[in-house]
Amino acid sequence: MTGPSGKTWGGRFEAGAAPEAEAFTASLRFDRRLWSHDLTGSAAWARALGRAGLLTAAEQDAILAGLDAVRAEIEGGRFPFRQELEDIHTNVERRLIELAGPVGGKLHTGRSRNDQIALDERLYLRDVIGHVDAGLRDVQEVLCDRAEAHAAAPMPGYTHLQRAQPILLAHHLLAYVEMLGRDRARLADARRRTNVLPLGAAALAGAAFPIDRSALARELDFSAPTANSLDAVSDRDYVVEFLSAAAIVGMHLSRLAGDLTLWATAEFGFVEIADAFATGSSIMPQKKNPDVAELIRGKSGRLYGNLVAVLTIMKGLPLTYNSDMQEDKEPLFDSIDTLEAILRVLPAMLRTLTFREGRMREAAGAHYSTATDLADYLVRKGLPFREAHEVVGKTVRHGIAAGKELGELSLEEFQRFSSLVGPDVHAALTVESSLAARAVLGGTAPEAVKRALAAARAAIAQA
Ligand code: ARG
């Protein structure tokens, strides 16, 4: 506005900025996405100035009308964005003055871009957390639907990626519902700490005018004003918390996507990914690649990177505001865009998976997967578990040598290793009895999984 630079802060400067410096410091390219929240915050500030007697009713109305006009221009794609004005805040303010006249110059009374950006980010993050939460809920719901549709289907459970014990596919899917439930709780918790009003902190020491910050907080739906002006303009921990929650979501979804990528191989053959969510190979005509799942798995990398970037930017910064902090935005926005992109595609991909129940059931019963059930059987007959483990180990070794699965051994073969084995042993070693035995709370027995599904649905509806 003033001085050779034409900047809002130009009064003190004799020379304009070097074009390289101007291009280097400008943040408009990325912070313009905060425009709507910047306008909302500015309108609330104008009303707060009015309540404090710093604007007459007519001045306040002129500023509010000017802000509405700016909003209409941006919404209509008619707003003249100017990079030389650095950021979204000065772009809005300059246009306000052009549209409303010199009275627009009163809006920045008692306010700094330092508390303004913290406000904009907090307002914006509140909205984002709402969208991300809804997206995670969608994923949870699809997983529950798929679990319900395959309620009785067994599959092998793995540890060390070795077949371990039979489980239900539904139990496996519901494990992810639990993870996402904790992710949603983490985001809700982060939202509580984000939802505090920084406006009124001004540059760092607090506004020099009698602003009722509690009224301002209520008007903008914040739970309270921040308690320390230095803290309000200098910390971005709400960004770090969001990025941290987003990184954990990315970690969980990368495991789900990793499971699907593995299950879609010819070696596993547990699932077929719909054509709509796979791609072909430019050279191998037979290929069907699980690209969507692979990319979901891969995107966890940038979600982690963005968290580490902002932690590193903030480390060791002297109080209070430093321009370094402007570097928080691109990582933040990238994580938001990444999560939103994942959450747009994942529910549909999950909904269109074809699970191969036959293949899974066959694998669930193979490779001595019910050996633990034989040990448990012997324990029920009174043998200490350690001895039972030894007996079963020898029985399995015999089975491998004889080329027989556990269920194919005769009673006489079983009895070679323990006289406690009776004619009821075969019934104890089926996939069904292995599953049914694990009826403990949180276990994979069909009854337990049915209850877990009902509890998960109730928790989803409540959260
Ligand atoms: N763009 C800055 C940021 O993201 C906000 C503006 C504060 N700039 C300043 N020179 N005080 O943190």
* 375-392 tens-digit pLDDT: 999 999 999 999 999 999
CA of 321 from ligand 1 middle (Å) equals 8
**What pLDDT sits at residue 3?**
60
Is 160 part of the annotated catalytic residue set? yes
| pLDDT over threshold 90, residue 120 | yes
Cα–Cα distance measured from residue 85 to residue 339, given in angstroms and rounded to the nearest whole number: 31
Mean pLDDT of 20-35: 96
Closest ligand 1 atom number to CA of residue 9? 10
Cα–Cα distance measured from residue 95 to residue 79, given in angstroms and rounded to the nearest whole number: 8
Least confident of 13-17, 33-37, 253-257, 292-296: 13-17
| Mean of pLDDT over the chain | 96
Reported as half-sphere exposure (CB side, CA atoms, 13 A), residue 239 has a value of 28
Residues with CB under 6 A from ligand 1: 27, 31, 87, 113-114, 117, 321, 325-326, 329
**What pLDDT sits at residue 412?**
97
DSSP state of 69: H
Q: What is the pLDDT of residues 293-345, one digit of tens each?
A: 999 999 999 999 999 999 999 999 999 999 999 999 999 999 999 999 999 99
Q: State CA 113 to chain mean position distance.
A: 29
SS3 content of the chain, % helix, strand, coil (to 5): 65, 5, 30
Mean pLDDT of 52-77: 98
Tell the residue nearest (CA) to atom 2 of ligand 1: 326
Which percentage of the chain shows pLDDT scores above 70? 99
Cα–Cα distance measured from residue 262 to residue 269, given in angstroms and rounded to the nearest whole number: 9
Tell the residue nearest (CA) to atom 6 of ligand 1: 113
Look-up of token digits 């020099």: 208
Nearest one of 100, 93, 92 to 58, comparing CA atoms: 100
Tell the residue nearest (CA) to atom 10 of ligand 1: 323
Is 281 part of the annotated catalytic residue set? yes
116 pLDDT band, cuts 50/70/90, is very high
Cα–Cα distance measured from residue 297 to residue 305, given in angstroms and rounded to the nearest whole number: 14
Closest ligand 1 atom number to CA of residue 87? 1
With beta carbons less than 8 A apart as the criterion, state whether 54 and 23 touch. Answer: no
Cα–Cα distance measured from residue 222 to residue 224, given in angstroms and rounded to the nearest whole number: 6
* Residue of 114, 125, 238 to test ligand 1 pocket, by largest number of atoms within 8 Å of CB: 114
* Residue of 7, 88, 113 to test ligand 1 pocket, by largest number of atoms within 8 Å of CB: 113
| pLDDT over threshold 70, residue 4 | no
| pLDDT over threshold 60, residue 2 | no
Strands (E), 134-281: 154-159, 162-168, 196-197, 224-225, 271-272
Cα–Cα distance measured from residue 296 to residue 339, given in angstroms and rounded to the nearest whole number: 9
Catalytic residue among 131, 214, 223, 281: 281
With beta carbons less than 8 A apart as the criterion, state whether 411 and 428 touch. Answer: no
CA of 87 from ligand 1 middle (Å) equals 8
Tell the residue nearest (CA) to atom 12 of ligand 1: 326
| pLDDT over threshold 70, residue 1 | no
Contacts of 404-412 spanning 24+ positions with Cβ under 8 A: 405/365, 405/366, 405/367, 405/368, 406/368, 406/370, 406/371, 406/374, 407/365, 407/370
**What pLDDT sits at residue 280?**
82
Catalytic residue among 160, 282, 323, 419: 160
Cα–Cα distance measured from residue 149 to residue 141, given in angstroms and rounded to the nearest whole number: 12
| pLDDT over threshold 90, residue 118 | yes
**What pLDDT sits at residue 5?**
64
12 pLDDT band, cuts 50/70/90, is confident
Q: What is the pLDDT of residues 79-91, one digit of tens each?
A: 999 999 999 999 9
